[in-house]
Amino acid sequence: MELTVKQVAAMVDHTNLKAYATKEDFRILCDEAVTYGFKSVAINTYPVAMCREMLEGTEVLTGAAVGFPLGQMTIEAKVAEAEDAVKNGCQEFDYVCNVGKVKEHDYEYIEREMSALVSVARKAGICCKVIFETCYLTEEEIIETAKVASKVKPDFVKTSTGFGTDGAKPEHVRIMKQYAGDDVQVKAAGGIRSFEAAKAMIEAGATRLGTSSGIKIVEEMKAAGYR
């Protein structure tokens, strides 16, 4: 697979989900995303309106993280947060599934939750990504959750929040891609801090990368002679 700098940059959700991020941090994040041609900024729901305004007139999307980072909220609370983010101008959102329910193998609950959040996105005409938090799951649990996604059809399934005990692994990306089906893409996130790591995720089937190291990844590509 021959990758270009522009292709990889356009896969990056440029991320700042820190609790102490300030308005100036978000301004820098947005400016960097525009300069490097990243796909979106990935932020918590509070700064959505502010970042959408900062990115007005650019091609960079304003993303939002819902139920973040634990996913231990009711379906109704996640729906309300997603709807609030939409109202404030988000153009896509990533929500954390209820990992405890996955561990209980209550996939009926996971399907109800996923359907409710995907419905919010569909009504708004925007993209919905489902975060599995794979570091806490067995291979079977990843497969079964991906099978739910193959029925509900969110736009993406996503490996990790970056706040768990581990991040994205190529083998998890491959499993998620295999079982979520052709209609669902895979976003790899968590611990992707180099071009080598990003390339491994892309080769495994990821079409979006959640990382706060997007600039480093792009600069590594340029230094290695990629165009």
Enter the tokens of residue 204. 């495994």
Instruction: Identify whether 187 is a catalytic site residue.
Output: yes
The C-alpha atoms of residue 85 and residue 91 are separated, in whole angstroms, by: 9
Q: Are 58 and 88 in contact (CB under 8 A)?
A: no
The C-alpha atoms of residue 110 and residue 97 are separated, in whole angstroms, by: 7
From 39, 94, 101, 169, the catalytic residue: 94
Q: Is 141 helix (H, G, I), strand (E, B) or coil?
A: helix
Cα–Cα distance list, 181 to 62, 159, 213 (Å): 26, 15, 29
DSSP label of 134: G
From 39, 78, 158, 169, the catalytic residue: 158
Q: Which residues contact 58 (CB under 8 A, 6 or more apart)?
A: 34
Q: Which ranges of 153-192 would DSSP assign to H, the alpha helix?
A: 170-180
Q: Are 158 and 129 in contact (CB under 8 A)?
A: yes
From 39, 169, 187, 199, the catalytic residue: 187
Catalytic residue set:
94, 158, 187
